[in-house]
Amino acid sequence: MRYIPHTTDDVRRMLEAIGVASVEQLFDSIPSALKLSRDLALPTPMDEVSLTSLLRGLAARNAASADRMALFLGAGAYAHHIPAAVDQLLLRGEFFTAYTPYQSEASQGTLQSIFEYQSMVASLLGADAVNASMYDGASATAEAVLMGLRLKRKRPRVLVARSVHPEVGQTCRTYLSEHEPGLEEVPFTNTGTTDLDSLKATLDDEVSSVVIQSPNALGCIEPLDRIADLVHAAGGLLIAVVLEPVSLGLLRTPGELGADIITGEGMGLGSGLHFGGPGLGLFGVRGSRNVWQMPGRLVGQTSDAQGRTGYVLTMASREQHIRRARATSNICTNEGLCMLAAAIHLSLLGKQGFGELARINATNARALLEKVERVAGVERVFPAPFFNEFVIRVDGGAERALARLSDAGILGGLPAHRFFPELDSHLIVCATECNTHEQLSRYAETLAGQEVAS
C-alpha cells in the first residue's frame, strides 16, 4: 500500500469532525516556552537530481567504504557478502509489513516465515527452541543473563569471561544495574581463552550462569564442552555467545557442546554492516523447562480441525507483553524484516553452501596470517584455534600500522587496546569471503613497508 499524504480538504474535514479550528490548536496543551518560535534551520528544497548529487558527495567524504577500501575489521561486526536476491525478495508485497499482528490467525504467512527462520537458526545453534524478537547480540545476551537469574532464583552471582566482547559485557551490566552483586569477570590466559582454573575456583552454589563467547573477542575458539562440564557440576547454566554466525558453518554447535542458552548476532545473515546496524539478536535454549522462561516471541506449528497446517504464537499470551517487570521480556517488535532477510539468506546458501562459506572465511584468515607472520616485527599473539579473526603484535604500535594501511586503501583492523588496555601494540584482524587474494598480499606487503601499486 502506498502512503498518500492528506489533502488540505482532508485536514479541514477531520478538524471539523473533532471541533478544532486548526492543527496548531491540537498542541495548545504544550507550554509556549517549549515551542519553537522560528522555522527549522533546514536547507532549501532540492530536486531529485540535485539531492542525489549532494548525497553522493557526502558519501565520498567517508574515510572508509567497501567500495574504496579493503576491509579487515571485524571485532563483532563482520563484512559478509549479501546476495542480491535477498533484498529483491524482501521487496515482495507479502513481506512489506515486518510487525507480527496479535491476530495471528490472520497472518499465517508472516508466522510461517518466522517458524522457518526459527527452525534454521535452531539447527545452527544446536538449540531446541529459538525465538524471533531480540534486537541484537548484546541485548540478547543480557536477556539470557536475566533468564538465568529467573531459572536459578537463589543464585545471584553471574560470571562473564573477560574474553567476551566488552560492549556485550557493558550491555549486560546496564541491564543488571540494580542487581547485586552484578557481573564478575573471569580472566583469560596467554592462549587467548578463558582461564579454566580461575573459573573453577570462582564457581560456587551462588552462581546462576556463566557467559562465554566463542569465537571470543580475541578471535579464539573457547573449549565450550570443558567449560560446560565445570558450570554444570556447580549447578549453573552456560550462556554461549556467537557474534560471528558464519563460524557455525564450520564449528560444532554451542548446544552440542553443552550450552544451555545460546545468543548471538545475526547481522552477517541477510543484513550488511550499514554503519553498525540494524542487528539481529539470536536466542536459543536447550531443554523444555528453559523454553518457558525464554523472552520474546515463539512461533509453533500445529493443525486445525480439518488437518490443515497452521502457525501460532505459542508459550506466551498477549498479556505477557504488558506485565512490566514481571514479564519475561518487554520486547514486542519481532525484528521481522531482519529475521526474514536471514531466513532468505540461509535458504539461498543451504547447508552445503553455508559450510563452504565458513571454509572460505577460515581459509582466507589463515592465508592472511601466514603472510603477515613472514613480516619482520609482526607476530601472532594467542596460539588458540581461531575462525576468521586473530590478534597480532606490531612493532611501532597499532596506530602507526593502521595509518600506513589506511594510506594504502586498507582498513587494517581494530587497535586491541580499545578493548584490552594491556594490548597496546596489537591489532585484531579479520578476513572474510569478501577479501581477495590480492588484498591479502597487499595487507602483508604494506605492513612490511613495501611499495604497493594502487
Above 60 in pLDDT, residue 420?
yes
Q: Please state the domain count of the chain.
A: 2
What string of H, E and C letters represents the secondary structure of the chain? CCCCCCCHHHHHHHHHHHCCCCCHHHHCCCCHHHCCCCCCCCCCCCCHHHHHHHHHHHHHCCCCCCCCCEECCCCCCCCCCCCHHHHHHHCCHHHCCCCCCCCHHHCHHHHHHHHHHHHHHHHHHCCCEECCCECCHHHHHHHHHHHHHHHCCCCCEEEEECCCCHHHHHHHHHHCCCCCCCEEEECECCCCCECHHHHHHHCCCCEEEEEEECCCCCCECCCHHHHHHHHHHCCCEEEEEECCHHHHHCCCCCCCCCCCEEEEECCCCCCCCCCCCCCCEEEEECCHHHHCCCCCCCEEEEECCCCCEEEEECCCCHHHHHCHHHCCCCCCCCCHHHHHHHHHHHHHHHHHHHHHHHHHHHHHHHHHHHHHHCCCCEEECCCCCECCEEEEEECCCHHHHHHHHHHCCEECCEEHHHCCCCCCCEEEEECCCCCCHHHHHHHHHHHCCCCCCC
Rounded CA-CA distance 247/249 in Å is 5
Q: Domain residues for 195?
A: 85-345
Quote the cell numbers at residue 68.
Answer: 574504496
**Strand pairing report for 70-71 and 410-411:** parallel
pLDDT higher at 361 or 4: 361
Would residue 99 count as lying in a domain?
Answer: yes
pLDDT at 64: 60
Are residue 187 and residue 279 in the same domain, yes or no?
A: yes
18 part of a folded domain: no
What CATH number does the domain containing 418 carry?
Answer: 3.90.1150.10
Mean pLDDT of 147-170: 96
At 188, is the pLDDT very low, low, confident or very high (cuts 50, 70, 90)?
very high
User: Which amino acid would we find at residue 107?
Assistant: S
Q: What is the pLDDT of residue 335?
A: 80
Asked if residue 8 belongs to a domain, the reply is: no
Instruction: Give yes or no: residues 301 and 335 share one domain.
Output: yes
Q: What is the pLDDT of residue 326?
A: 66
Is 3 part of a structural domain of the chain? no
Domain's final residue, options 315, 345, 375: 345
pLDDT digits 0-9 by tens, 270-319:
988 887 778 999 999 998 888 888 888 888 999 989 999 988 888 765 55
CATH number (domain holding residue 327): 3.40.640.10
Do 104 and 74 share a structural domain?
no
In a domain, 407, yes or no: yes
Asked, for residue 52, whether it belongs to a domain, the answer is: no
Same domain for 330 and 316, yes or no, is yes
In this model, does residue 212 exceed pLDDT 50? yes
Summarised one tens digit per residue, pLDDT across range 70-88 is 999 999 999 999 999 999 9
Residue 129 and residue 144 share a domain? yes
pLDDT score of 453 more than 50: no
Backbone angles phi, psi at 70, to 5 degrees: -80, 125
Residues 6+ apart with CB under 8 A from 199: 159, 161, 186, 210, 227, 230
Are residues 74 and 109 part of one domain? no
End-to-end CA distance of the chain: 48
Q: Examine the domain organization and report whether 289 and 435 are in the same domain.
A: no
pLDDT exceeds 70 at position 179? yes
Residues 199 and 128 reside in one and the same domain: yes
pTM for the model: 0.86
Q: Which of 345, 366, 395 is the last residue of a domain?
A: 345
* 91 pLDDT tier (thresholds 50, 70, 90): confident
Q: State yes or no: pLDDT of 383 exceeds 50.
A: yes
At residue 168, the pLDDT reads: 97
77 and 93 assigned to the same domain: no
Say if residues 147 and 295 touch (Cβ distance below 8 Å). Answer: yes
In a domain, 411, yes or no: yes
Whether residues 75 and 223 share a domain: the answer is no
Q: Does residue 141 carry a pLDDT above 80? A: yes
The verdict on residue 148 lying in a domain is yes
State the pLDDT at residue 454: 39
Instruction: Look at residue 148 and tell me whether its pLDDT is greater than 70.
Output: yes
Residues 253 and 361 in one domain: no
Q: Are residues 408 and 440 in the same domain?
A: yes
pLDDT at residue 108, rounded to an integer: 82
Average pLDDT, stretch 426-440?
97
Query: How confident is the model at residue 4, as a pLDDT?
Result: 72
* % residues pLDDT > 70 (the chain): 91
pLDDT higher than threshold 60 for residue 98: no
Q: Which of 318, 345, 372 is the last residue of a domain?
A: 345
pLDDT at 351 > cutoff 80: yes
Region 187-215: what's the mean pLDDT?
98
List pLDDT tens digits, range 10-39. Answer: 999 999 999 999 999 999 999 999 998 898
- Judged by average pLDDT, the poorest of 182-196, 325-339, 356-370 is 325-339
Model confidence pLDDT, tens digit, residues 251-277: 999 999 999 999 999 998 998 888 777
